[in-house]
Structure 1
Amino acid sequence: MSLFVNSPLTNPLFEKYFEKVYGGRWNLIKESLTRHEKQVLRLNRFVSAEEKDLQKCEFLDNCFWKPVGYSLQKSGEGLYDFYVMDPASVVVALALEPKSSDDVLDMCAAPGGKTLILAEQMSVGAEEVLGTLVSNEMSESRRDRLMRVLHEYIPKDQRMFISVKGLDGNQYGLRNPETYDRILADVPCSGERHLLENSKEFALWSEKRTKNLAVRQYSLLSSAWLALKPGGRIVYSTCSISPEENDAVVAKLIKKRDPIILRPDWLTQIDFLEQTSHGYQILPDRSGFGPMYFSVIEKSI
């Protein structure tokens, strides 16, 4: 059901800005942003969870479409067997592709779903984890939630390589230069889907606010770049549909730092993934979930 039905939400500046960006497609995107997005249940590979009678997600391994009214249950090990996620968020985390020997930073990690995927990629099936995973969240309340997720999904003896930090992401570049092989920078953004659910915030939206937020986002991406080892990879991501917060931020890094923009082959198999100048976008009018933008960035050796 659309949130615009019987809704007083109006902001001419918002409408004008996104009509200019998306043209005739904007009305479809706007409508899809106000509908409940499809979600998946991602199998917790740290426990012996049963797949049950669930419909498999056709483009993501270990994921099943979340039925209406589904309640999470704990496995015999006392940990939850599934984690509920937006499928677009799963794609973003998978794009980092860390190895068990990598030192990894999840710069803005709460609520924790992406950290779980990174931890699985590093450890499940590996003989030994020689790398580290730093799961960072500056907000204390969100960090508490992050720690709760880790305790509810990963056995204690299998999370020894994970540490939770509470730093401002901007500090990593100066404090830990060229330290990490992989960095996920899922930065704070306008989040238009959530914005449309908050009448006060929606009324305050302006292009200037988006531009100001993009300055903060570039600062975080620049910090990630400084903290990245030569040959390392960053995945920069937002849940915004504004090009100011997406390609424009990456374009600034390209101008100043000359990174390599990667196009992993496996991403071409996802038909709803739309290629942008410097990354990819998942929009809800075509997928039923998202939105999500991400760019896969490499630092040359």
Structure 2
Amino acid sequence: MNIRAIAARALGPVIGRKESLNTALPRALQQCQESDRALLQQICYGTMRFLPRLSCLANQLLKKPFKPQDQDLYALVLLGFYQLLEMRVPAHAAISETVEAASQLNKEWAKGLLNALLRNLQREQGALFEQLSEQPEFHYNHPQWMIAKLQHNWPDHWQAVLEQNSQQPPMTLRVNQQKTSRDNYLQQLRDAGIAASATLYSTTAIQLDSPVDVNLLPGFAYGFASVQDEAAQLSAGLLDLQPGQRVLDACAAPGGKLCHILEHQPDLSHVTAIELEPNRAERIEENLSRLNLSAEVIIADAASRTWWDGAEYDRILVDAPCSAAGVIRRNPDIKHLRQNEDIKPLAELQLAILDNCWQMLKPGGRLVYATCSVFPQENERVIERFLKTQTDARHLPIEANWGIERPYGRQLFPQPQGHDGFYYAVLLKDQN
């Protein structure tokens, strides 16, 4: 089957805000040969990465919008535009393959329209870019609400964040220090012909010069390394884990930080992982199994205590559900699927989870609050609101050479060929 047709079928529901790319793409990958999967993935991710800009072009060239039942055709137009503007596919091949995909979608009638739109873009690209250059969505390749919010929240950083969000992220590994050292694993990578270097901030992180299939990584199947962004690897150190402690990882899927906790301090007495979604809890179990680690995984709501047996924890990680605005490079559909009105309910949920988990923390214990967001509404303002109601909570400033210090916690922004956007705050519970 035509790869463009498979991509269009996958992207239609994502563009229609009915599915995420993480849900739609795995099904699409199963429909094509292994040799075509990299191309399919590139087309899908690339189209979503440049969707605001591509949509501006489509709106300029289309005389009328597609009907809802023809969302796959609209996706075909956008992915055709993406190929012409951003990929190295020869223009004639991109056009012919994209036009032919309409037949595979049983929409033969649209081939003439597709051909005209793609050739118009090819012919009028310069003029179109000039006409659209003043539109923020086109210029910054983000929805208007997100541009305005970032500009308001981060007047000194917003343009750099927007720029990074349109880039492809690096591939970063977490070395399992129970199996090997970072220096030893760097040597193993060199021996395998994989160029890589140690990162600046996490002592367990290695960044590859170019992404590779995980099956090519030395000892990956045996748990020598995992794929995890450097910013996400900072949580284990902030928890200040000690032997014999009871640890709770709330909202634990897919289990990267949980596994890092277990690798970082193998002599913990008990580790509990909470995850609301059963299918995401399966990902936790898969990661634990590959790394030969064990934890108690409970399918439950981190904002509820119905699952809790009353035994308090020495350390708690609240990796709260968020807008994921700091990891748009890895999940480019976020800037399309998220809406401004989503942020307030997310902040309320974050505060509810934080309040709930606080009751499970021992006096003298430590809680680390984390999100992969760059919006203060989900980060420092949640901590500020929390501290106003919890009289036994104390904010501990983070002394670090990463991110920027905030009134509460530290904020990381996505970096060129570096870590993603992230936020951390550390809270201590007063002794009775």
Q: Which category of TM-score, normalised to the shorter sequence, fits these structures? A: 0.7 to 0.9
Cα offset, 1:130, TM superposition? 5.5
The gaps in structure 1 that reach 5 residues or longer are 124-128
Q: Please, what TM-score do these two structures have when normalized by structure 2? A: 0.60
Residue 244 of structure 1 aligns to a residue in which SS?
A: helix
Q: Residues 63-120 of structure 1, C-alpha deviation per residue, up to 9 Å, x if partnerless?
A: 2112313233476795232101110000123211221211000011111111111102
Q: Residues 205-229 of structure 1, C-alpha deviation per residue, up to 9 Å, x if partnerless?
A: 12x3211110000000001111111
The answer for the alignment partner of 1:280 in structure 2 is 410
Q: Residues 16-68 of structure 1, C-alpha deviation per residue, up to 9 Å, x if partnerless?
A: 22211112531221111221223421112333585122422233223211231
**In 1, Cα distance between the equivalents of 2:228 and 2:283?**
15
Instruction: Answer yes or no: is the 8 Å Cα contact 1:102–1:182 preserved in 2.
Output: yes
Residue 378 of structure 2 aligns to a residue in which SS?
A: coil
The answer for the alignment partner of 1:19 in structure 2 is 151
Instruction: Answer yes or no: is the 8 Å Cα contact 2:250–2:273 preserved in 1.
Output: yes
Q: Please, what TM-score do these two structures have when normalized by structure 1? A: 0.85
Structure 2 residue corresponding to 1:38, chosen from 170, 174, 189? 170
Q: Residues 158-183 of structure 1, C-alpha deviation per residue, up to 9 Å, x if partnerless?
A: x45x2111111012388355610100
The answer for the alignment partner of 1:234 in structure 2 is 367
Residue 217 of structure 1 aligns to a residue in which SS?
A: helix
**In 2, Cα distance between the equivalents of 1:285 and 1:38?**
10
Q: Larger Cα Rg: Structure 1 or Structure 2?
A: 2
Structure 2 residue corresponding to 1:262, chosen from 389, 392, 396? 396
Cα offset, 1:261, TM superposition? 1.2
Between 74-83 and 109-118, report the one with greater CA deviation.
Answer: 74-83
Residue 212 of structure 1 aligns to a residue in which SS?
A: helix
The gaps in structure 2 that reach 5 residues or longer are 1-45, 56-136, 191-195
Structure 2 residue corresponding to 1:100, chosen from 238, 243, 249? 243
Cα offset, 1:197, TM superposition? 2.3
Instruction: Answer yes or no: is the 8 Å Cα contact 2:371–2:422 preserved in 1.
Output: yes
Provide closer, same or farther for how the CA distance between residues 98 and 173 of structure 1 changes in structure 2, counting only shifts above 3 A: farther
Counting helix residues as a fraction of each chain, which structure ranks higher? 2
Cα offset, 1:298, TM superposition? 0.6
1:251 paired to 2:298:
no
**In 2, Cα distance between the equivalents of 1:298 and 1:260?**
5
Match for 1:108: what amino acid? Answer: C
The answer for the alignment partner of 2:320 in structure 1 is 187
Residue 15 of structure 1 aligns to a residue in which SS?
A: helix
**In 2, Cα distance between the equivalents of 1:17 and 1:199?**
12
Match for 1:213: what amino acid? Answer: L
The answer for the alignment partner of 1:153 in structure 2 is 291
Q: What is the number of equivalent residue pairs in this alignment?
A: 284
**In 2, Cα distance between the equivalents of 1:200 and 1:67?**
29
Structure 1 residue corresponding to 2:275, chosen from 131, 137, 148? 137
Cα offset, 1:244, TM superposition? 0.7
